[in-house]
Chain A
Amino acid sequence: MAGRLKLLTLVFLLLIPGALHAEDVEVQASVDRTQVAVGESLQLKVSIRGGDGTVDVSAIQDFDIISRGSATNINMSNGRFSRENAYTYVLMPLRRGESTIPPLPVQSGGTVVRTRPISVTVTPRSEPDRAEGREVFVEAGISNEAPYEGEQIVYSFRVYQRVQIANPRFQEPNFKGFTAKRLEDQRTFTTVVDSREYHVIELNFILLSLGSGVHPIEPAILNCKVIHSGSRRRNFSDPFFGLNRGGFETRRFATEPVTVDVRPLPPYHGEGRFSGLVGAFDIESQIETDELKEGDSATLSIHIQGIGNVMDAEEPAVQVPDAFKVYKDAPEETVRLEPTGYTGRKVFRMALVPMKPGIYQLDPVSLVYFDTDREDYVQEFTRPLQLTVTPAEEKDQLAVVTPSLTAVTPRKDQVVFTGRDILPLKEDLDGLKTARPMSGGWFLLFLMIPPAVFGLTKTALVLSRKTDSPSRRMAERSEKALREAAANEAAGEAFYACLYRAVISAVLARADTYGETLTYSEVRSILSNRSCSPEVIDHALGLLETIESARFGGRIMDGEDRRGLLSETRGLVKSLNR
């Protein structure tokens, strides 16, 4: 039976287009009421007769479109079918006063047809709705209207309901000037307002201000369908987001705007460094062990915990003695979002490795934060820690038995300041004498003195050497060569070279001239011209030949021979220089 009915309907619908007369498209817009209160909705219906079309509602500025739908009606009148496409919109006014639904363009086929404009008067919410007559209302509040910069506050949005609501759509405000984090768990409770019992659903946001100044928070919006009390009884056990079908009214609820005046933190003049934390915190330190061996490690943990922006805590300054190597670990952060705000702890760990034995004191670590209850800066300290470091090889030393050594070595403590002050005045009257640092001019002068002395000395030497005759210089050279020969007696080649130079220099000294080498004939010529006896000339030539044959001819001479040759040369030089 049902299948046959479906078949007939399908055939009917297929026949309709053919049965419809071609007619002009007619567009009409209408509202169910032209006066509406803030928070109430109205229904806009755009009907298109004689064809299909699409409606552009983007021109609507004074209303928020809550929902939309469409329907097609087919009518038969005087044996003729007509079709009407109806588009319905639920509108919520955005402000009080005269609002307008502007002409809406409807595109059908190739033509655009516009609806006529509609004026709607938006009135304030009626008093009975505000007071005891309210079945649903919303409100927003903050935990502190004048927090300090960095102080966390709680923004609460509450829905009071005596009847059931459905399809809620919550539009949270733009928390400009804050960082906002919504608490996942919503709170539900029952309360009495104006002697009427309400079921309340509360949504909470934790806000942290980004800077001081006045920050308005826009209204929060709740769009929902309110189930008429006559159609369904309120059911507290039904959750906020439950869906219920029945007689309902689409409503829009808005809270009042909230203003937060964020105060800047007062100037800080304390001793320690302000950590940037605002709230209530404490600090404590723990050391893994207070007795360890040289080279072993112990973990030092600094715990900062409390309520507030604990996640922003920076690593506190820890004064570790120089005898320790420090290896820092990444900080560990455990922060929870609770109804009162951020709470948790941040732990800074570092491994301390002592390099020298001794007893060491770790100074208290301080934390300066702004206490929002006291409205002042507070400095907290950890307790001082003491570490005893024993030598790494202590057991081995005991095993080797060095009792006297360990017994007499006193335990040494690192000297630390127990107070701070400056040293006294200098009372000597030396303080009255001007004592400038050496000027650049004087520095340059002192710098130039040594090279000047050198230059003068060199000049003097050159001048003095100019007065020396070649004869004297060559005679000196001859003597010097003899001394070198004596020193190099065992050195072979060098020995003979020195003897040769001694003889030649002595001959040149007789000639009063400079030179390095001479031929035999030149030696003979010089000596004969200088009135030397033929014996001396022959002796000199013979000696030169002996030296050269030993030097270049490979003639082997033992020590005795060399000493004799040196003595003979010395005698010749002496006679020539005479």
Chain B
Amino acid sequence: MIPSFKPRIQRIIWICAGVLCLAATSHADPLTQSFLDGIRYYQEGNFEQAVAEFEKVTDAGVQNGRLYYNLGNAYLRSNQLGRAILWYERALELIPEDPDLKFNHAYALSRTKDERPDRGPSLIRILFFWKFLLNPTLIRRIALAMNLIFWSAVLVRLIRGKKVLKTSIYLLLFIALIFTGTAAYNYYEDTYIREGIILPEQVSVRSGLTEGATELFVLHAGTKIRVEKEKDGFVRIYFSEGKIGWIQKGQVGII
């Protein structure tokens, strides 16, 4: 009698725990519920609904790279390449080193139609290679670390004597200045240089602020452009050297 009693007790405990978990899930806050619903819809193949649920979370002001990644996936599955790349780009600003994100972003880029402007080895890219090689978060961290090490060395020198760590301090100062300057420029870029993604399947870039203006060239969904100015419901975009024009504001998603 006693031996059969223990497993039964254990089973009851497990069932109670499961019920409690279910109850906890069913009474989750609305954002959590939307997030979980988004995942469920995605896994069921209802990608449009998954997009709607994930966007409820982003609309509530949540800024998270993993959430943006999920949203990018849902858009990609629902064949909205432009919006998928837009959300991947937004995610890259938050979790630039995430391998899944980099993989899916590369896959989405492979499906775009417009050839990216030539980004071959220019003098700027060679001279400031670290700016293009390292992501802004890493540059920021290196700048702070080098700054800390530099001032620590200066402090040691102050306490221990003037002849200590002389060469090392100059070297540390140089590196700290380089990375601090790069981080400052990255902040400037984030603040003043707006980039966007073409959202519709195909967009005519025109010479003026009307639909009747001359079509200069055509861009396709997912193409990254720079937004230079905004006027009367149109934005002036820069694609590459010499390829500038106007498109409707709603046709571009700001990263």
Residues of chain A touching chain B, judged by Cβ–Cβ distance below 8 Å, are 420-438, 440, 443, 446-447, 449-451, 453-454, 457-458, 461
* A432 B187 Cβ-Cβ under 8 A: no
**Chain B residues whose CB sits within 8 angstroms of the CB of A432 once the complex forms:** 31-32, 35, 57, 62, 64, 67
CA gap between A435 and B77 in the complex, in Å: 25
Task: Point out the residue from B35, B61, B103, B180 that lies within 8 Å of A431, measured CB to CB.
Answer: B35
Q: B155 at interface (Cβ–Cβ under 8 A)?
A: yes
**Chain A residues whose CB sits within 8 angstroms of the CB of B63 once the complex forms:** 434-436
B32 to chain A, nearest CB (A): 6
By the criterion of a CB under 8 Å from any partner CB, how many residues of chain B are at the interface? 45
Residues of chain B touching chain A, judged by Cβ–Cβ distance below 8 Å, are 31-32, 35, 39, 42-43, 57, 61-67, 69-70, 73, 76-77, 93-94, 100, 103-104, 107-108, 110, 136-137, 140, 143-144, 147-148, 150-152, 154-155, 158-159, 180, 183, 187, 191
**Chain B residues whose CB sits within 8 angstroms of the CB of A422 once the complex forms:** 73, 76-77, 103-104, 107-108
Known contacts A423-B104, A432-B62; A450/B147 CB under 8 A:
yes
CA gap between A422 and B11 in the complex, in Å: 40
**Chain A residues whose CB sits within 8 angstroms of the CB of B31 once the complex forms:** 432
B100 to chain A, nearest CB (A): 4
**Chain B residues whose CB sits within 8 angstroms of the CB of A447 once the complex forms:** 143-144, 147, 180
List of 6 A-B pairs having minimum Cβ-Cβ separation, nearest first:
A450-B151, A431-B66, A426-B66, A431-B67, A422-B104, A423-B100
* A458 B158 Cβ-Cβ under 8 A: yes
**Chain B residues whose CB sits within 8 angstroms of the CB of A427 once the complex forms:** 39
A237 to chain B, nearest CB (A): 61
| Known interface pairs A420-B107, A451-B151; 19 further A-B residue pairs with C-beta atoms within 8 A, sorted by A's residue number | A420-B110, A422-B108, A425-B39, A425-B70, A426-B100, A428-B66, A429-B35, A430-B66, A431-B35, A432-B31, A432-B35, A432-B64, A435-B64, A436-B94, A437-B136, A440-B191, A449-B148, A453-B155, A454-B155
CA gap between A229 and B137 in the complex, in Å: 97
CA gap between A437 and B92 in the complex, in Å: 11
**Chain A residues whose CB sits within 8 angstroms of the CB of B35 once the complex forms:** 429, 431-432
**Chain A residues whose CB sits within 8 angstroms of the CB of B32 once the complex forms:** 429, 432
B136 to chain A, nearest CB (A): 7
**Chain B residues whose CB sits within 8 angstroms of the CB of A454 once the complex forms:** 151, 154-155, 158
**Chain B residues whose CB sits within 8 angstroms of the CB of A421 once the complex forms:** 107
* A450 B136 Cβ-Cβ under 8 A: no
Which residue of chain B is the closest to A427 with respect to CB atoms? B39
A138 to chain B, nearest CB (A): 44
Which residue of chain A is the closest to B107 with respect to CB atoms? A422
**Chain A residues whose CB sits within 8 angstroms of the CB of B155 once the complex forms:** 453-454, 457
* A426 B76 Cβ-Cβ under 8 A: no
**Chain A residues whose CB sits within 8 angstroms of the CB of B107 once the complex forms:** 420-422
- Chain A to chain B contacts (Cβ below 8 Å), 9 pairs: A420-B110, A422-B107, A422-B108, A426-B70, A432-B67, A436-B63, A447-B143, A450-B152, A457-B155
CA gap between A411 and B7 in the complex, in Å: 54
Known contacts A431-B35, A447-B180; A426/B62 CB under 8 A:
no
Task: Point out the residue from A423, A429, A451, A457 that lies within 8 Å of B158, measured CB to CB.
Answer: A457
* B73 A425 Cβ-Cβ under 8 A: yes
**Chain B residues whose CB sits within 8 angstroms of the CB of A423 once the complex forms:** 100, 103-104
* A430 B64 Cβ-Cβ under 8 A: yes
CA gap between A451 and B73 in the complex, in Å: 45
CA gap between A32 and B185 in the complex, in Å: 92
**Chain B residues whose CB sits within 8 angstroms of the CB of A433 once the complex forms:** 62, 64
CA gap between A424 and B73 in the complex, in Å: 8
**Chain B residues whose CB sits within 8 angstroms of the CB of A429 once the complex forms:** 32, 35
CA gap between A453 and B154 in the complex, in Å: 11
Which residue of chain A is the closest to B84 with respect to CB atoms? A422
Max count, chain B CB within 10 A of own CB: residue among A427, A429, A457, A461: A427
Task: Point out the residue from A425, A443, A450, A458 that lies within 8 Å of B42, measured CB to CB.
Answer: A425
CA gap between A449 and B155 in the complex, in Å: 13
**Chain A residues whose CB sits within 8 angstroms of the CB of B62 once the complex forms:** 432-434
**Chain A residues whose CB sits within 8 angstroms of the CB of B108 once the complex forms:** 422
A272 to chain B, nearest CB (A): 11
**Chain B residues whose CB sits within 8 angstroms of the CB of A458 once the complex forms:** 158
CA gap between A248 and B191 in the complex, in Å: 89
Max count, chain B CB within 10 A of own CB: residue among A447, A449, A457: A447
**Chain A residues whose CB sits within 8 angstroms of the CB of B104 once the complex forms:** 422-423
**Chain A residues whose CB sits within 8 angstroms of the CB of B151 once the complex forms:** 450-451, 453-454
* A443 B183 Cβ-Cβ under 8 A: yes
CA gap between A435 and B96 in the complex, in Å: 13
CA gap between A317 and B109 in the complex, in Å: 18
Which residue of chain A is the closest to B155 with respect to CB atoms? A454
**Chain B residues whose CB sits within 8 angstroms of the CB of A428 once the complex forms:** 66
Which residue of chain B is the closest to A431 with respect to CB atoms? B66
CA gap between A424 and B43 in the complex, in Å: 9
A191 to chain B, nearest CB (A): 50
**Chain A residues whose CB sits within 8 angstroms of the CB of B67 once the complex forms:** 431-432
**Chain A residues whose CB sits within 8 angstroms of the CB of B154 once the complex forms:** 454
B209 to chain A, nearest CB (A): 27
Max count, chain A CB within 10 A of own CB: residue among B32, B93, B151: B151
CA gap between A440 and B187 in the complex, in Å: 7
